[in-house]
């Protein structure tokens, strides 16, 4: 076995040639899971707390704590807004989850979401220069039910300590009530990254995919597999960005969404889905096969594959078909299979395939921009502003069928997203601070550069130890053994 490089850049080359395309894809997935488990065990998680302020002698404890800090407490008491200046609150996000829908693994129990929530905090800091804390909570009430009101109360109670809240991995229908209630009843931005974040990055990818296909968003027929929080919000954002509801159809596990779905109408918890039932699919397509035939775009965020999307469905689509197959951790159809079936552009949620349409491209910059102007909420138009910032950046550096959105390595895109989101917040009147786009851009760029430099310094000084190379080689060996039986 070829020795893997520390940065895993040669993972494809390290896989033996004897593997089929499907085996290679499975091997990469298994390898990343096995390595992730052992790497987390090695580090004991991936987030720690470090001081922001210096200590220049023993008496500085009296400045940072008692008696000096009393002046900070009374100043904030008299004007709560000063908490954003006198504490870390102005650049601090709570990553809140009840862990009821963790990636593709479902309900993982409250502590089961910590790996993902710490991961969000890691990306926020490294990519957006934003501090974040993982908060996994128990939403089970005395009846043994998952209660959205418990999440709502939890967020309201923690609001005074944070500048924003990132909701994550909350199952539907609870996620709709939690987000919509908190957006209106808190004074800090609360957003659901699985929904709004995924929608923003998906729209960015769609904008550029349509550009390459020489098609217009208002004229294409869009079929969506899955009608959970992600796809329901993607649909709403696409419609706000100019999509035609009469050319859109969504499918859930029971069939297409349309005005005749009394099962959805009768359950008020699914009000977001019912809105889409009334707006989309006037033809009332019955089967997915019928709906996808001749469609220009297929957006799938349903259940992990492969084999969930059949190649013959892709083959039946219109010329220059666009397929987003974004289930985690395995897409509904592998990119190679979709391409073989005739797709012009294929995107997934994974970084080891071309065109990673992943909310990690969006939320670091979006939250940074909202924090920069102390926005009271993150509106749909702020999300769309982020979509165009991502799409424009990619177009300026050049797009192709295998490169429709920036990658997480293209760090200049994050302060750009932050600046455009902040400018939109000011335009809509939801910002507390009337700051210019250039000021937010420079602030975001500075904090991102600093976060990356601090991480590098900790690594170079040995305070963050390099994981043993043996971990990578053992993980790859175990993955290959499992794939090849």
Active site residues: 65, 120
| CA 427 vs CA 49, 373, 423, 431, 432: distances in Å | 35, 11, 6, 8, 11
Q: Are strands 255-256 and 92-97 parallel, antiparallel or unpaired?
A: unpaired
Q: Decide: helix, strand or coil at residue 181.
A: helix
What are the DSSP E strand ranges found in 85-229?
Answer: 92-97, 131-136, 164-167, 190-192, 222-225
> Which of 292, 149, 175, 269 lies closest to 223, judged by CA?
292
CA 277 vs CA 225, 239, 260: distances in Å = 14, 13, 8
CA 169 – CA 172 distance, rounded (Å): 9
Element (H, E) at 174: helix 174-185
Main-chain dihedrals φ then ψ at residue 434, nearest 5 degrees = -90, 75
Determine contact, residues 324/202, Cβ cutoff 8 Å. yes
Q: d(Cα 346, Cα 404) in Å, to the nearest integer?
A: 10
For residue 101, give Cα distances in angstroms to 59, 89, 97, 107, 229.
Answer: 48, 28, 9, 5, 11
**Beta carbons within 8 Å of 217's beta carbon, 6+ residues apart:** 206, 207, 210, 238, 241, 242, 243
Which two three-digit tokens encode residue 35? 């390595």
Take residue 392 and report the two structure tokens written for it. 């424009």
The rounded distance, in Å, linking the Cα atoms of 485 and 147 is 43
The answer to whether 406 and 394 have CB atoms below 8 angstroms apart is: yes
Q: Are 292 and 223 in contact (CB under 8 A)?
A: yes
Which of 227, 240, 344, 247 lies closest to 295, judged by CA?
247
**Number of residues that make up the chain:** 485
Return the structure tokens found at 371. 């924090």
């Amino acid at each position: 076995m070829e020795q893997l490089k520390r940065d895993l850049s040669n993972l494809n080359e390290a896989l033996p040639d004897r593997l089929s395309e499907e085996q290679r894809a499975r091997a990469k997935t298994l390898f990343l899971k096995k390595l992730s488990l052992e790497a987390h065990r090695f580090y004991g998680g991936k987030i720690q707390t470090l001081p922001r302020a210096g200590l220049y002698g023993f008496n500085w404890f009296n400045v940072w704590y008692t008696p000096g800090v009393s002046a900070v407490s009374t100043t904030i008491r008299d004007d709560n807004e000063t908490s954003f200046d006198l504490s870390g609150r102005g650049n601090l996000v709570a990553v809140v989850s009840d862990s009821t829908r963790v990636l593709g693994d479902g309900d993982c129990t409250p502590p089961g979401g910590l790996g993902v929530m710490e991961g969000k905090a890691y990306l926020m800091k490294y990519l957006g220069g934003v501090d974040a804390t993982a908060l996994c909570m128990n939403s089970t009430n005395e009846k043994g039910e998952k209660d959205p009101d418990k999440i709502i109360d939890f967020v309201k109670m923690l609001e005074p300590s944070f500048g924003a809240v990132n909701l994550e991995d909350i199952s539907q229908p609870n996620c709709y009530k939690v987000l919509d209630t908190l957006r209106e009843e808190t004074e800090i931005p609360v957003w659901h990254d699985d929904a709004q974040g995924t929608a923003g990055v998906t729209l960015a990818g769609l904008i550029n995919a349509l550009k390459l296909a020489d098609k217009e968003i208002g004229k294409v027929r869009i079929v969506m597999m899955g009608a959970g929080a992600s796809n329901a919000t993607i649909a709403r954002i696409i419609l706000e960005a100019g999509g035609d509801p009469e050319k859109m159809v969504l499918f859930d596990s029971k069939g297409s969404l349309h005005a005749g779905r009394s099962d959805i109408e009768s359950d008020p918890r699914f009000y977001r889905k019912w809105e889409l039932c009334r707006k989309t699919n006037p033809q009332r397509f019955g089967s997915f096969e019928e709906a996808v035939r001749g469609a220009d775009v297929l957006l799938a965020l349903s259940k992990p594959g492969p084999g969930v999307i059949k190649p013959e469905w892709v083959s039946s689509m219109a010329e220059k078909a666009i397929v987003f197959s974004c289930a985690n951790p395995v897409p509904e159809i592998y990119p190679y299979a979709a391409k073989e079936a005739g797709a012009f552009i294929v995107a997934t949620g994974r970084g080891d395939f071309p065109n990673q349409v992943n909310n990690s491209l969006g939320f670091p910059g979006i939250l940074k921009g909202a924090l920069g102007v102390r926005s009271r909420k993150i509106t749909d138009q702020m999300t769309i502003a982020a979509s165009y910032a991502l799409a424009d950046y990619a177009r300026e550096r050049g797009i192709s069928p295998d490169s429709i959105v920036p990658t997480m390595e293209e760090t200049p895109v994050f302060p750009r997203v932050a600046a455009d989101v902040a400018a939109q917040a000011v335009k809509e009147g939801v910002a507390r601070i009337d700051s210019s786009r250039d000021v937010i851009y420079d602030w975001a760029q500075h904090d991102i550069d600093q976060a990356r430099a601090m991480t590098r310094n900790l690594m170079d000084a040995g305070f963050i130890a390099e994981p043993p190379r043996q971990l990578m080689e053992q993980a790859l060996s175990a993955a290959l053994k499992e794939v090849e039986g």
